Chains A and B, each alone.
Chain A
Amino acid sequence: WILIAIQIEVMSQNNPVRNPWIAKGVRRFGRSAAYKRSGKWAVKTKGPLAAPQPEETTVDKTFQGGVRKVPKQKQSRYYPAEDVSTPLYSRKKNVNAPKLRESLVPGAVLILLSGKFRGKRVVMLKALESGLLLVTGPYAVNGVPLRRVNAAYVIATSTVIDIESVNVPDHLNDDYFKRPSNANSAEFGDEEQAVKPKVSEERKNDQKQVDTALLQQINEQSGLKAYLNARFSLSKRDYPHQMKF
């Protein structure tokens, strides 16, 4: 390996080897010869560098009795009687923007792998703060509404739709989609009285707003609408580890 390294170095003209190895642990030139060849003896030094001056921490102050050196910053009178405990490291406070796979880009077509809409191809709108992805069918194309989806249960295809012109409202965040905790607080045996979740008008309006802009982009590319309408599935000779998405 050392010999190979020498050959590579010699070939690069910018960095000639001045003192190559001739055997393991044996260099071509000894100490004094190497020093002579290095040319360090010809370099004139500027002399010892001046020691860095420490910052002034005291100031002269005149008192009645005379002049005395007084610290620039006075020490505080207060110190705690008991040890002040430092809080333990909290992971909850260490929240950063979610880090997603590089292929998960706004406008990317995703294949959902689990849940009610498994196999559906949907368009990713953005990544939410919790790390989940905001996704839409669009609803008119394949019946998938504005929805949160876990990035782990998704295949990101390399097809990306330009959603620069699609305005995703800011109020579509994790709180918007969070399930109300008392959704079905009906007692056991009281099912008829249980409230069936209805789609609110707000949801429908938001869906329409996002989808109309998105559909314009989809219609521009031929075949994309049919593609989003179709479900993904594996047949006999499909090997996912060999397929490119």
Chain B
Amino acid sequence: MSQRVFRRFVEVGRVCLINYGPLEGKICVIVDVIDENEALVDGPSSITGVSRQSIPFSRISLTDITINIPRSCRHKTLVKAFNQENVLERWAKTKWARKIASKETRANLNDFQRFQVMIAKKKRNRAVRAEQAKLLKANA
């Protein structure tokens, strides 16, 4: 009965991923909301490299992670809360972050590694299909 239309909200403490511009791919926290288009965002700058700045909502994606900070808090307070809630660890565990990481590894494979991946995939698929065939036969 408590079905929500929206699950992630723009709020102070919402952890976001920047997906456009020179800081693309970096994590930041919404520290304050400026108006309907922009938020004030901070990395924290000493941890993620995103310095305190305004950023339009069109450039960021909200994640599921929020931290408990007062509005417009200092960098020091933000760092404390960020580390206490293990944001980077929690982010790295999400499927979203893992997909981004795997895309990057795939793009950096050299020719030999691509060959090895192909062989590994073939082996895995063959093993899966063999099991599947066995199960189908057993249930036939």
User: Chain A residues with Cβ under 8 A from B109's Cβ?
Assistant: 244
CA distance A230 to B116 in the complex (A): 11
Contact at B119–A159, with CB atoms within 8 Å? no
Expressed in whole angstroms, the minimum distance between the Cβ of A223 and any Cβ of chain B is 6
User: Chain B residues with Cβ under 8 A from A242's Cβ?
Assistant: 107
CA distance A184 to B112 in the complex (A): 41
CA distance A111 to B116 in the complex (A): 16
Contact at A245–B116, with CB atoms within 8 Å? no
Expressed in whole angstroms, the minimum distance between the Cβ of B117 and any Cβ of chain A is 11
Contact at A157–B110, with CB atoms within 8 Å? yes
Known: A223-B116, A223-B119, A226-B119. A157 touches B107 (CB 8 A): no
Known: A109-B112, A157-B112, A227-B112. A244 touches B107 (CB 8 A): yes
Q: How large is the interface on B (under 10, 10 to 19, 20 to 34, 35 or more residues)?
A: 10 to 19
Contact at B116–A159, with CB atoms within 8 Å? no
CA distance A243 to B110 in the complex (A): 8
**Interface residue A232 (Cβ < 8 Å from any Cβ of B):** yes
**Interface residue A158 (Cβ < 8 Å from any Cβ of B):** yes
Using an 8 Å CB-CB cutoff, how does the interface string of A216-245 with B read, 1 for contact, 0 for none?
A: 000000011011001010000000001111
**Interface residue B139 (Cβ < 8 Å from any Cβ of A):** no
**Interface residue B111 (Cβ < 8 Å from any Cβ of A):** yes
Q: Which residue of A lies closest to B115 (CB)?
A: A227
Q: Which of B5-46 contact A (CB under 8 A)?
A: none
Using an 8 Å CB-CB cutoff, how does the interface string of A129-152 with B read, 1 for contact, 0 for none?
A: 000000000000000000000000
Contact at A230–B115, with CB atoms within 8 Å? yes
Expressed in whole angstroms, the minimum distance between the Cβ of B126 and any Cβ of chain A is 15
User: Chain A residues with Cβ under 8 A from B112's Cβ?
Assistant: 109, 157-159, 223-224, 227
Expressed in whole angstroms, the minimum distance between the Cβ of B98 and any Cβ of chain A is 21
Contact at B107–A159, with CB atoms within 8 Å? no
**Interface residue B108 (Cβ < 8 Å from any Cβ of A):** yes
* 22 A–B contacts from the bound complex (CB under 8 Å): A111-B111, A121-B111, A155-B111, A157-B112, A158-B110, A158-B111, A158-B112, A159-B110, A159-B111, A159-B112, A223-B116, A223-B119, A230-B115, A232-B111, A242-B107, A243-B114, A244-B107, A244-B108, A244-B109, A244-B111, A245-B110, A245-B111
| Chain B interface (Cβ < 8 Å from any Cβ of A) | 107-112, 114-116, 119
**4 closest cross-chain pairs (CB), A and B:** A157-B111, A159-B112, A158-B110, A245-B111
